[in-house]
Structure 1
Amino acid sequence: MKAATVSQLKKELQHRNTDELLQLCLRLARFKKENKELLTYLLFESDSEAGYIETVKAEVDEQFELINTNSFFYIKKSARKILRTLKKYIRYSGNKETEVALLLYFCEKLGDFNPSIKRNTTLMNLYQRQVDYLEKKIGLLHEDLQYDYGLLLEELKP
């Protein structure tokens, strides 16, 4: 089965009544965890972006606490998993400020992690890629935010 385009879906959804749309949304939410998470963000958390950022930061803190520090292999796997989760939450928001704030927080946590990531090339490369990515993203923000986030980014550079 070939999926319809977004414009085709939009046209079809315009012809449905409110009850049908509600049923379609609930059925969609039943099938995939990401759909439920996105719906939760849109319904409950999109009003307060600052609260959403704090919630995600708390989850990142928890995930960093759970990292197995016995070997760099486990640290790498966990760091990638945390970054994957963070990118998913960033996609839900779609806000550039949120993306920069959360990635800065991730880099800060990874840079302060113990044992130091400086002893592992792969982790340093992961860290450096995120810093470079942040540099590009900060350039797209408003001038005042560019300055504020730029200062934070300078502290993170190795």
Structure 2
Amino acid sequence: MKAVPLKKLKDELSHKSANELMVLCLHLSKFKKENKELLTYLMFESHDEASYIESVKSQMDLLFDEINTKNFFYIRKSARKILTLIKKYIRYSKKKETEAELLIYYCRKLKNFSPSIKKSSRLLNVYQTQLRMIKKAVGTLHEDLQYDYQHEIENLEIPS
């Protein structure tokens, strides 16, 4: 089955009643976990972005505490898993401020992680890539916000 273009879906949805739209949304939420998570964000968390960010940060803290530190392979695997989760939450929000906040927090946790990520070139590469993503996201924000985030970005830099 081939998916129809977004415009055609939008046109078709405009002809549906409120009850039919509710049924479609509920059906989508039952079909895939991500759809249900996105619907939860849109209905319950999008109005208070600060508490959403805090809840993601607390979840991130728990995940970092659970990392197996016996081997850099496990650390890297867990760090990538956490990053994938964060990226999903960033996609839900679609706000550059949220992206910057969450990625800065992730990089801060990774930088302060023990054993040091400096001992693993692959973890350093992940870290440097996320720093570039932060700079890109911050570059699109208002000048005042850019100034506020710039100090945090400077603190995240790892000297060679």
Question: Counterparts of 1:9-158 in structure 2 under 5 Å?
Answer: 9-158=9-158
Number of residue equivalences: 158
Give the TM-score taking structure 1 as reference length. Answer: 0.99
Q: Distance in 2 between matches of 1:99 and 1:137?
A: 7
* 5+ residue gaps, structure 1: none
Q: Distance in 2 between matches of 1:83 and 1:5?
A: 30
AA paired with 1:117? I
CA deviation string 1:89-132 (max 9, x = no partner): 00000001000000000000000000100000000010011112
Q: Distance in 1 between matches of 2:11 and 2:5?
A: 10
What percentage of aligned pairs have identical amino acids?
58
Q: Distance in 2 between matches of 1:21 and 1:136?
A: 37
Q: Distance in 2 between matches of 1:76 and 1:52?
A: 26
SS at match of 1:25: helix
CA deviation string 1:21-49 (max 9, x = no partner): 11000000001000000000000000000
Q: Note the C-alpha offset of 1:136.
A: 1.8
AA paired with 1:52? Y
AA paired with 1:109? K
- Root mean square deviation of aligned Cα: 0.5
Give the TM-score taking structure 2 as reference length. Answer: 0.97
Q: Distance in 1 between matches of 2:48 and 2:137?
A: 22
